[in-house]
């Protein structure tokens, strides 16, 4: 387990990044941390712990030549009171710093039953810069992913209910 909230873990990750950059003979386009909970030992509800983690991630981004960083994070446990008032990025578990410190958050929330052959997911976006991105849908069907926006496919077909 690589822990970015201690110097040993940070140094190890930087070594990996430098090695990959050397092999590619250039900067990285992106770095994925999946899930982010595996890369720190701090309490994810503690603002200061998450702030420290996000500063470390930002440092990795800088050392990788400005690479985009993809953080995979999970929603908190559903409860009746939470589901009534929270949508999109508000459903993430832990400190609000996970969302406050990113340029764009993209959430997937499954809307079809677990056994659905071609499940649908609601896609919500939170952006810090630029125009808002409208809610959309993604359908997984075998090996293909079919995005839909505003209730219909890009080619005009209606999203099945």
Q: What is the DSSP letter of 102?
A: -
Q: What is the DSSP letter of 74?
A: -
* Rounded CA Rg of the chain: 18
- Residue 20 pLDDT level (bands cut at 50, 70, 90): very high
Better-scored residue on pLDDT, 77 or 62: 62
> Beta strands of the chain (E only): which ranges?
30-33, 68-71, 104-110, 120-127, 136-141, 144-149, 152-153
Q: What is the pLDDT of residues 25-59, one digit of tens each?
A: 999 999 999 988 899 998 988 989 989 999 999 98
Is pLDDT at 66 greater than 60 in this prediction? yes
Is pLDDT at 103 greater than 70 in this prediction? yes
- Residue 146 pLDDT level (bands cut at 50, 70, 90): confident
Mean pLDDT of 129-158: 71
Taking the C-alpha atoms of residue 76 and residue 98, their distance in angstroms, rounded to an integer, is 13
Taking the C-alpha atoms of residue 7 and residue 158, their distance in angstroms, rounded to an integer, is 52
Chain centroid to CA 14:
21
Mean pLDDT of 7-25: 92
At 67 the pLDDT is 92
Domain range list for the chain: 1-75
129 Rama sector, left if φ>0, alpha if ψ -120 to 50, beta otherwise: beta
At 135 the pLDDT is 80
- Residue 83 pLDDT level (bands cut at 50, 70, 90): low
Task: Pull the structure tokens for residue 143.
Answer: 């090996």
């Amino acid at each position: 387990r690589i822990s970015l909230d201690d110097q040993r873990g940070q140094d190890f990750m930087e070594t990996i990044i430098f090695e990959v950059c050397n092999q590619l003979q250039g900067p990285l386009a992106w770095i994925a941390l999946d899930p982010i909970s595996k890369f720190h030992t701090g309490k994810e509800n503690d603002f200061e712990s998450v702030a420290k983690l996000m500063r470390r991630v930002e440092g990795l981004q800088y050392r990788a030549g400005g690479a985009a960083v993809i953080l995979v994070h999970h929603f908190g446990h559903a409860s009746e009171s939470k589901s009534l008032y929270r949508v999109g990025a508000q459903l993430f578990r832990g400190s609000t710093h996970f969302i406050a410190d990113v340029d764009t958050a993209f959430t997937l929330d499954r809307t079809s039953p677990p056994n659905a052959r071609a499940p649908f997911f609601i896609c919500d976006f939170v952006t810090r810069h630029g125009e808002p991105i409208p809610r959309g849908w993604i359908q997984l069907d075998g090996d293909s992913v079919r995005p839909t926006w505003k209730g219909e496919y890009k080619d005009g077909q209606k999203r099945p209910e």
